[in-house]
């Protein structure tokens, strides 16, 4: 599997000289294997996607908070004549199409999904799926309004995408099982420990909890994602320098990892 981190910022896109190294684009990860281009979330990072027009395209949404879908309406995926399969979970009685249409319709957006040239197919995310040879499973995160944590496996390699998740005692045990022996975990570490004390209930986690998960799951590697928009390159680099575990690092926009 080839994993490309197209956007690793959380909550809202950022830019400027203090956000060059880690990037300002929001949640989007491209996984490529066996002729498939699977996008995990459609944040503003989706605009940085390489050309995947020769592959079958899918988008798996963890949830539809704006930072996870703001890239979709201007993505080349929707602006070209191709089939795109979109997966998400029904929330508050709205299926994934209806959730996306809340943004992609007047007065918030000029064009509805039916206006785009691509051929969109919407699907309810199932707990276990197979997307063109990639095995996909999911579990519920602890996040306001709900969010999914995905595990993708192909040819014995595994990726766990655990963004927008707030640690809790019972969920961390479940997540450790779900992420067992994963080759790579992408983990939400939006807050410092001090920030977390003020932001409990917002649905995000910390580096310390990610490191605990790394050990309890026996995963091989963890990269922290969903960086807070106020965290500068300097802050993130300082936090990274403090990591004692060589299996852990902070994700940078544009990173490519081959599993």
DSSP-based three-state secondary structure for 185? strand
For residue 178, the tally of other CB atoms under 10 A from its CB is 19
By C-alpha distance, which of 207, 196, 199 is closest to 239?
207
**Least distance from C-beta 67 to Zn ion, angstroms?**
4
Per DSSP bridges, beta strands 28-33 and 2-7 are antiparallel
**Least distance from C-beta 59 to Zn ion, angstroms?**
15
Pick the piece of the chain touching Zn ion (CB under 5 A) from 92-100, 124-132, 159-167, 230-238. 159-167
Q: Which residue is nearest to Zn ion (CB)?
A: 65
Task: Give the integer Cα–Cα distance in Å for 223 and 214.
Answer: 10
Phi-psi region of 209 (alpha: psi -120 to 50; beta: other; left: phi over 0): alpha
Specify the residue, 13 or 153, whose C-beta has the smaller distance to Zn ion.
13
Specify the residue, 85 or 164, whose C-beta has the smaller distance to Zn ion.
164
Contact between 221 and 184 (Cβ < 8 Å): yes
Pick the piece of the chain touching Zn ion (CB under 5 A) from 6-14, 126-134, 179-187, 215-223. 6-14
Specify the residue, 69 or 248, whose C-beta has the smaller distance to Zn ion.
69
Report if residue 164 touches Zn ion, rule: CB under 5 A: yes
Task: Give the integer Cα–Cα distance in Å for 175 and 157.
Answer: 18
Site string for Zn ion, 192-231 (x = CB under 5 A): ----------------------------------------
Specify the residue, 5 or 33, whose C-beta has the smaller distance to Zn ion.
5
Task: Give the integer Cα–Cα distance in Å for 1 and 55.
Answer: 14
**Least distance from C-beta 181 to Zn ion, angstroms?**
26
**Least distance from C-beta 56 to Zn ion, angstroms?**
26
Find the Cα–Cα–Cα–Cα dihedral 152, 129, 181, 27, rounded to 10°.
40
Specify the residue, 7 or 36, whose C-beta has the smaller distance to Zn ion.
7
Residue 203 token pair: 């649905």
Buried b (16+ CB within 10 A) or exposed e, 120-129: bebbebeeeb
Specify the residue, 48 or 157, whose C-beta has the smaller distance to Zn ion.
48
Residues numbered 54 to 73 that lie near Zn ion (CB under 5 A) are 65, 67
Residue with tokens 């899918």: 58
For residue 249, the tally of other CB atoms under 10 A from its CB is 14
**Least distance from C-beta 143 to Zn ion, angstroms?**
6
**Least distance from C-beta 209 to Zn ion, angstroms?**
16
Pick the piece of the chain touching Zn ion (CB under 5 A) from 4-12, 49-57, 84-92, 172-180. 4-12
**Least distance from C-beta 164 to Zn ion, angstroms?**
4
Contact between 140 and 134 (Cβ < 8 Å): no
Specify the residue, 110 or 144, whose C-beta has the smaller distance to Zn ion.
144
Which residues of this chain interact with Zn ion, rule CB under 5 A?
A: 10, 65, 67, 164
């Amino acid at each position: 599997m080839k994993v490309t981190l197209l956007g690793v910022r959380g909550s809202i896109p950022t830019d400027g000289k203090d956000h060059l190294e880690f990037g300002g684009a929001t949640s989007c990860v491209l996984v490529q294997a066996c002729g498939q281009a699977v996008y995990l979330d459609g944040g503003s990072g989706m605009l940085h996607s390489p050309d995947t027009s020769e592959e079958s395209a899918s988008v798996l949404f963890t949830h539809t908070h704006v930072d996870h879908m703001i890239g979709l309406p201007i993505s080349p995926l929707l602006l070209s004549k191709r089939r795109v399969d979109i997966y998400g979970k029904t929330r508050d009685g709205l299926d994934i199409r209806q959730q996306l249409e809340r943004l992609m319709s007047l007065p918030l957006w000029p064009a509805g999904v039916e206006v785009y040239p691509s051929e969109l197919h919407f699907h309810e995310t199932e707990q276990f799926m197979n997307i063109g040879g990639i095995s996909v499973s999911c579990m519920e995160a602890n996040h306001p309004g709900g969010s999914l944590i995905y595990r993708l496996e192909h040819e014995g390699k595994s990726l766990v995408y655990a963004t927008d998740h707030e640690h809790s005692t019972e969920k961390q045990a479940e997540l450790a099982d779900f992420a067992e022996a994963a080759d790579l975990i992408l983990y939400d570490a939006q807050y410092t420990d001090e920030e977390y004390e003020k932001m409990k209930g917002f649905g995000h986690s910390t580096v310390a909890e990610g490191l605990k998960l790394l050990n309890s799951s026996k995963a091989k590697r963890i990269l922290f994602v969903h960086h807070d928009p106020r965290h500068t390159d300097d802050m993130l680099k300082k936090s990274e320098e403090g990591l004692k575990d060589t299996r852990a690092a902070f994700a940078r926009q544009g990173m490519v990892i081959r599993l």
